[in-house]
Chains A and B, each alone.
Chain A
Amino acid sequence: MELLLEVFLFSIPLIILSWALPKRFVLLSQIIITGAFILYKSPISFLILTFISFGNFYLLHKSNLKNSIKIGISLVVLILLIASAKLLFSIHDHWIIPLGMSYYIFRNIHYTIEYYKGKILNESILFYLAYNFFLPVLIIGPINRYHEFVKDWQRRRFNSEYFSAGLQRILYGVSKVMIVGNYLLTAKGAVFISDIDDSHAWLKAYLETIESVLNAYFQFAGYSDIAIGISLFLGYRIMDNFNYPFLASNMQEFWSKYHMSLSAFCRDYIYTPIASFYRKPLLGIIATMIIIGLWHEISFSFLIWGALQAIGIILSSFFKASSDSFIRKNLGRIFVLNYFSLSSVVIHYDELAQALHVYKVLFFLN
């Protein structure tokens, strides 16, 4: 909550200056305010992001190395950085990994690969810094794309519709976080569940499982709405991160609607290269989902979680071609909610043994 308030606090001067200053100073003001925010919240993250921004830009655009070497260095450094950070700072140790790092490393990997594909049309250190130092999406995404960011900047104008849409998104976001997540699910729902008599162990475990998944979803979707809302206030349309994922009727569809910016990133930069290199789509799916798991945290639990998502998607491909009847669709939805919730049990507990215990309860193995 504190972090959210601070983001709002820094966003106010950001928004005012972005419309009050002459256009040529706007990006600079965004970079400075965002820089000040990270420096205040997480000096180490500020140092890393500054290093990456200047280093990657210099490497790709200014150095005289061969293209393949440039790309190689850039990707190796970025991947090493994120992997070592994930190994050093684990969520369960109550360490916070350098603020926003998971997101900005992926943004930079995206930039490097697009550069390799020859798709970076507007190379400018100012754009690049502004893309990296963009407060609304810095902490919890979405992993927005560079060309979309530049496009929105180039065509940016004062648009009152963006303001009303932005305000609406922020209100939705705050409601999801505060009312649905914090109040209904955590304060009321969790208390209700914990009050259930222990003689109904299965029901209790099941409801807890569903509650934690829905809570995580509403919190995350809420923060994404806020990020998109603040961006709209600044005149940028940032890609959506969730599109009613629990209305999906199979796991493949679910992953095209859940944390969309991450899943689209992984589709473009992990699935496609791996699947095409080995000519094996299944391998691509498994590798992609495991990396999505490890992106959250490098641990055995997340490895299993990723593998379970892959299995879910592969299973769904068997049912894909069959008819789309009303009953089938809704059965599919029930399956998706349960499959995702049950597969997520493995990441809800610090110890794998605890998760195993819950599984035993849920599957009547006690």
Chain B
Amino acid sequence: MNIIEVLERAKSYPKRLFAVLHDGETVTYGDLLSRVDKLSLIFDGLGLKEGDKIVLSTNDKLSVAEITIAAYRYGLTVILSDPNAKAERMHSIIHSATPDAFFIDSALKEGWRIQDVNCIEIKKANEGKKTLFKKIFSQASPSHENRETSDHSYPACLSVLTNVAPKYPKTLDPSCVAYMMYTSGSTSDPKGVVISHKNLFVHLETLMNVYGFEEGVNILNLLNLYHTDGINQGPMLALYSGGTWFSPFKLDTARLDLIYYAIYKYKITHLFVAPTLLSFFEKYHENFEDSFQTPDFKFAISVAAYLDERLWHSVSTIFKIQIVNIYGLTETVTGSIFCGPGSETFKIGTIGKPVDCSIKIINEEGKEVSRGERGELLLKGDHIMVGYFNNPEATDKVLIDGWLYSGDIALQDDEGFVKIVGRKKSMINSGGFRVQPEEIEEIMLKVNEIDECKVIGLPDQILTERIVACIVLHADVKLTDVALFKFLRENLEPEKIPHEIHYLDAFPRGISGKVQVEKLKSLISEKHAGPIAKSEKALDTVISNAADIFRVEQKEISELSSTKTLSGWDSLSHLALITRLEQVFNIKFSTSDIMVMNSINAILKVINKKLK
């Protein structure tokens, strides 16, 4: 199906919910269709024609979804731009993409200094929240002045359009560009991934088939809509499958309970998460272990980053759910290789098997390797991007004979399961975001005091990788972290700000003078190895004693095992464990300590406190 057929089909269920958003705001397919129609008139009014490009950037989730869908229908290319982007980066994108119109939040127009006349400001009024008295006493019709401003503000501009026939092309060329996403690249060399209608809709079909979507799917996807997994596996996938997209609150790791509650409350069938969120699930689940045991819930889908095997097992066990993993890049719309939900493709620790695409793994010489051998993973299929916008050089580097060079080092086992074992590119995968270190380095080098800078990614339990900036200062200058972070916050999106900064006298270099990244990584890792090893030792001791007393295998116990998840941990054996640990560590627990020690983690915390 293409966008025209999808929207045509939606006409048969106008009352069905398309989206459930903040404060319980609901949008039906009927509402969506009507807005798509009206938006075509707005596009027409702005003089836009098929193939033109618009910049879309707003914090309002519904506006992102409906403007994107309307633009696809009209044949426009949407440049999805994160409202958190800094002005300088935006200007470089605008310079590269030459958009014909802007649909952006009012605040961004100022912040990004957009002068363009073809600019619709997105302003959401809280109409629904008017009290009865305000409704009665407010003016019946907007004043002339209000109407003037409403022409260039969204969605106010829609309200004046009633019963006018929509204006969009009867057919659309599948090669027409649907969206562009600037994911990586430095300011001087931005890389916009170009995805055509064919790429997008072929892939939506794949996703729907792999997940086995039927009518009535309820997708909970709170991911950022300016990343492919947010927009394409949220509103677009809901639209394509005729389901409902739920994003009723902001993703907040301090309020995981909202997600747990939502599963039952909204009859969620599929939850999309990044591994970072799963590690929060693993840490904070007490009393919520039954959250996914509802008649409707099918499985969770881990996207955007490498899912660690231990975390995968752990979260699946705690919540008794299947976690499906999807491997892909922005360049492949979202996926390519799927692990689950079907048993024939499901093997925890691997990324599964390719669906609707071909893969090959090649060595340095460009030859295909045999099973079990490592090499770079290449992908080919109808969903692979058209290229990087106006950047043939970058495109030619990764797209050769229709094969996309993923930059990931992989191997394929005897049963055909693919496993990612490393990365060729310098890309850092942090908290579900793919971050190009060069982009951060470029900004950091603008600081006068910094002579050299290298940004690396180091493994992290929660973030997958944490961004570590290593810098060498000019001689005899000083730089405080506070000043540096202030500068970085002003010039970089939040997800790109380094988590750690290390000051070095010099970088380790090879004979050619090139910085040896691997050596630098191990240098920094060693610096941090001390305290971790110590607590790991305590963990081992606790686990081995617990295993002995509870009569279970050591491997069944992890840091997150609790009285609720581990059989054998009853109130009698609990006391036996406590007494044993007192002897082993030569400490004494108070009654209040013992009352909170209901998981291995909690026990470790108390022990560490006592040992201090």
Contacts and interface: CB of A to CB of B under 8 A. Distances in A.
16 contacts: A117-B592, A148-B287, A151-B261, A151-B287, A151-B288, A154-B261, A157-B265, A157-B267, A272-B594, A275-B571, A276-B578, A276-B591, A276-B595, A279-B575, A279-B579, A281-B575
B369 interface: no
A147 B287 contact: yes
Contact of B261 (A113, A155, A277): A155
Contacts of B574: 272
A121 interface: yes
A157 B295 CA distance: 14
Nearest to A157: B265
B264 A157 contact: yes
A152 B399 CA distance: 52
Contact of B572 (A161, A279, A281): A281
A54 interface: no
Contacts of A155: 260-265
Nearest to B258: A154
B396 interface: no
Interface in B558-607: 571-572, 574-575, 578-579, 589, 591-592, 594-596
B287 A154 contact: no
Given A118-B596, A279-B579, A154 B591 contact: no
Contacts of B267: 157
Given A117-B595, A118-B596, A148-B287, A276 B262 contact: no
B270 to A, nearest CB: 17
B261 A276 contact: no
Contacts of A157: 264-267
Contacts of A267: 571
B88 interface: no
A117 B596 contact: yes
Contact of A271 (B257, B265, B266, B571): B571
A273 interface: yes
A349 interface: no
State the majority secondary structure of interface residues on A.
helix
B589 A276 contact: yes
Interface in B246-276: 257, 260-267
Contacts of B596: 117-118
Given A117-B595, A155-B262, A277-B591, 10 more contacts: A117-B592, A118-B596, A148-B287, A151-B257, A151-B261, A272-B574, A272-B595, A273-B595, A276-B575, A276-B594
- Among B578, B592, B596, the most chain A Cβ lie within 10 Å of the Cβ of B592
Nearest to B295: A161
A174 to B, nearest CB: 27
A357 interface: no
B520 to A, nearest CB: 41
A210 to B, nearest CB: 30
Nearest to B262: A155
A121 B101 CA distance: 47
Contacts of B286: 119
A61 interface: no
Nearest to A252: B572
Closest 3 pairs between A and B when the two form their complex, measured CB to CB: A155-B261, A276-B594, A155-B265
Interface in B322-379: none
Contacts of A151: 257, 260-261, 287-288
A154 B256 CA distance: 13
A267 B574 CA distance: 12
A156 interface: yes
A116 interface: yes
Interface residues on B, range: 20 to 34
B524 to A, nearest CB: 35
A273 B287 contact: no
Interface string A81-118: 00000000000000000000000000000000100111
B592 A116 contact: yes
A50 B280 CA distance: 39
Interface residues of A, number: 25
A121 B591 contact: no
A317 B573 CA distance: 12
Contacts of B595: 113, 117, 272-273, 276
B584 to A, nearest CB: 15
A156 B262 CA distance: 9
A366 B115 CA distance: 107
Nearest to A271: B571
A136 to B, nearest CB: 20
A154 B249 CA distance: 14
A251 to B, nearest CB: 14
B513 to A, nearest CB: 55
B592 A275 contact: no
Interface in A250-288: 267, 271-273, 275-277, 279, 281, 284
B374 to A, nearest CB: 46
Interface in B181-205: none
A72 to B, nearest CB: 12
A156 to B, nearest CB: 7
Interface string A116-135: 11110100000000000000
Interface in A308-355: 317
- Among B579, B589, B591, the most chain A Cβ lie within 10 Å of the Cβ of B591
A84 B246 CA distance: 53
Nearest to A317: B572
Contacts of A119: 286
Contacts of B579: 279
A281 B575 CA distance: 8
Contacts of A272: 571, 574, 594-595
Interface string B286-298: 1110000001000
Contact of A121 (B257, B263, B264, B266): B257
A275 B594 CA distance: 10
A154 B257 contact: yes
Interface in A185-217: none
B601 to A, nearest CB: 14
B527 to A, nearest CB: 33
A106 B592 CA distance: 19
Contacts of B262: 155
A281 B596 CA distance: 18
A151 B257 CA distance: 8
A118 B589 CA distance: 18
A273 B579 CA distance: 14
Contacts of B264: 155, 157
Nearest to A122: B257
Interface in B532-577: 571-572, 574-575
Contacts of B594: 272-273, 276
Nearest to A145: B287
B259 to A, nearest CB: 11
Contacts of B261: 151, 154-155
A49 B460 CA distance: 50
Contacts of A275: 571, 575
Nearest to A148: B287
Contacts of A148: 287
